[in-house]
Structures are given as structure tokens and as C-alpha cells.
Structure 1
Amino acid sequence: MTAIDFYILGHTDELARFQFACRLSEKAYGEGHQVYVHVENAEQAQRLDDLMWSYKAESFLPHNLVNEPQSAPVQIGWQDHPAHHFDVMINLSSPQPSFFSRFARVLEIVIQDETVLEQTRQHFKFYKDRGYEVTHRDLRG
């Protein structure tokens, strides 16, 4: 069964959420995992793609958008059912992707923005109602 982790940040802005997604992607990639980051739309995907290129000056995080011809260990997408199987999904979207259970782990990043809080509360309830084990990682301080 898919393991679900909620990372609760003290920040209120989307940039902090995207930066933390970069951090989680880098960690998972470093541990040998393939990562799919699911966002709302093409604009968010491009913003995250740009951020991953400049995330750390001293390192490189191999990534691409799912519609690009080359496949990288970290992929960013917004459409249904990514073509390749990945073992970790970072979900930055609402509604809940229907294909989440294809992944061994789903990571949800919570910021202190009312819209995101409501969205992730709904995701939490969705997972719990279906019997998934949910872990909270409170990073607020």
C-alpha cells in the first residue's frame, strides 16, 4: 500500500513550497528513487522546472517536464497518468490525482496558506478514509 507523508512547513508562500519540493526531489534522487512531481498546470510546471535549474549552485538535479523527449529521474507534470512508473510522487496539486496509488510513496507539502491548508486537509481525509497510513512531519520549528 502507498505510504503517505505530509510535510508541514511554517511558511505561507508558494515559493517555499516549491523550494521544499526541490529539496525532497534531490533527497529522493540521491537515494536512487525516481520522482514525479505533480503540479496544477503547465505554468506551475515551468516555474518549478526553472527553480530546479537554479535550486543549488553547487549541484545538479536531473529533471525535465513529462512532455519532453528525454526522460530524467525527476519529472514534473500536470496531466493525468504519467507514462512512466515512478516510486515517489510529490503532490502539489488539487484535486487529488487519481493515479496516486501507482506510487510507493506520496509526499504532500503543506504551507500556512488557507487555500493550501484546506486542500491538504481534504487530501488527508481522502487517504485516511481509504485506510492509508499517513505520517506527519511537522517542520514549523
Structure 2
Amino acid sequence: MTAAPCEVWFYHLERSPLEAVLPELLEKTLGRGWKALVRGGDPRRMEALDQHLWTWREDSFLPHGLASEPMAERQPVLLTAEDGNPNAGDALFLIDGAEPGDLAGVSRCILLFDGRDDQALAMARGRWSVFKKAGHPVSYWRQGAERGWEKQA
């Protein structure tokens, strides 16, 4: 029996920056009992995001670490600029145009992109076609008038 293909969700950021959206999505992921892997393209960006996640909200604790740190494989949320899935994340978050790599073992891939950036929009459109042709169930989420998300496709 083969595993179900990884779902791929596209999050179109229009009203809030990644730094506001990502922590909330990570909290929801942990609330499901899942581990998360956040992949970006630049190690310095991941280090800055690491610092942000420690202080993003006073009344919240979001356990996480960098892939370059000891015991990275034990982190419920792991930040990396490399391929692979060292913490066996159930959810893979792709930011800043990072490549998805091998999705084996991943239940959901979440691609977050800035809707005000033409290059990011073009990349997301291209990836939508690639994932759909590969047989992945794809969904498109857009920020609503209120801070919530509305499924568009």
C-alpha cells in the first residue's frame, strides 16, 4: 500500500508579513500533534527567524531550533536552509522561494509567498502547475478581510 500524496497548500500573503503569519501557522501545526520543518533559502534569514520566533508574542512559547544546532532532530519546529527532513516533520513550510526537495514522509507542504512580489507570484504559479501535474492535492489560501484565511481553490 502506498502513502497518500503530500497535500500542498499555497498561502498568498497580502495583508500580513511572513513574520506575523508563520508563527500562528506553526502553533496550529503543533496543536495537531505534528512536527514542522521550515525551509528557507538563506541561513542568515533562518537565524533571524529563529530570534523572531523566541519573542514574537509574550504570551506564547514556540519550541524550535536551527538545523545547525545540537539535537536538531528532536526539535518540534526546525528551521533550515538545507534539503532533508532531519526532525521528521509532518509539515514542510517553504519560505523565500525555497525548493521543496523530496516530500516523502511529509503530510502537508505549505508554500508561503508575498502577493506583492511579482517574482514570488510567478514562482507560486509555476509550482502550482508542477505539484498538480505530479498528482499532489493542491489548495490555495488567501488572507481575508479579517485576519483569517479563505480557501479559494
Name the TM-score, length of structure 1 as normaliser.
Answer: 0.88
Q: Computing the radius of gyration over CA atoms, which structure comes out larger, 1 or 2?
A: 2
CA distance in 2, matches of 1:47, 1:84: 20
> Aligned AA for 1:62?
P
* Separation in structure 2 between the aligned mates of residue 101 and residue 6 of structure 1, nearest angstrom: 19
Aligned length: 138
Could you say which residue in structure 1 is the equivalent of 2:32? Answer: 31
Q: Does residue 129 of structure 2 align to residue 125 of structure 1?
A: yes
Find the counterpart in structure 1 of residue 23 from structure 2: 22
Give the CA deviation at 1:75: 0.4
**CA apart distance, 1:98:** 1.6
Deviation at 1:103, TM superposition (A): 0.6
Partner secondary structure for residue 50 of structure 1? helix
After superposition, what is the alpha-carbon deviation per residue over 1:95-133, rounded to whole angstroms, capped at 9, x for unaligned?
Answer: 532223431100111222112112211221110121211
Alpha-carbon separation, structure 1, partners of 2:53 and 2:141: 23
Q: Which runs of 4+ in 1 moved over 4 A?
A: none
Q: Taking CA–CA contacts closer than 8 Å with sequence separation of 6 or more, which of the two structures ends up with the larger relative contact order?
A: 1
1:88 maps to 91
Secondary structure of the 1:53 match is: helix
Which amino acid is 2:78 matched to?
Q
- Structure 2 Cα separation of the partners of residues 140 and 115 of structure 1: 22
The counterpart of 2:7, out of the listed 3, 6, 30, is 3
- The one of 81, 96, 101 equivalent to 1:78 is 81
Structure 2 Cα separation of the partners of residues 82 and 3 of structure 1: 16
Gaps of at least 5 residues in structure 1 are: none
2:141 to 130, 137, 141: 137
Structure 2 equivalent of residue 116 of structure 1: 120
Helix, strand or coil for the counterpart of 1:89? strand
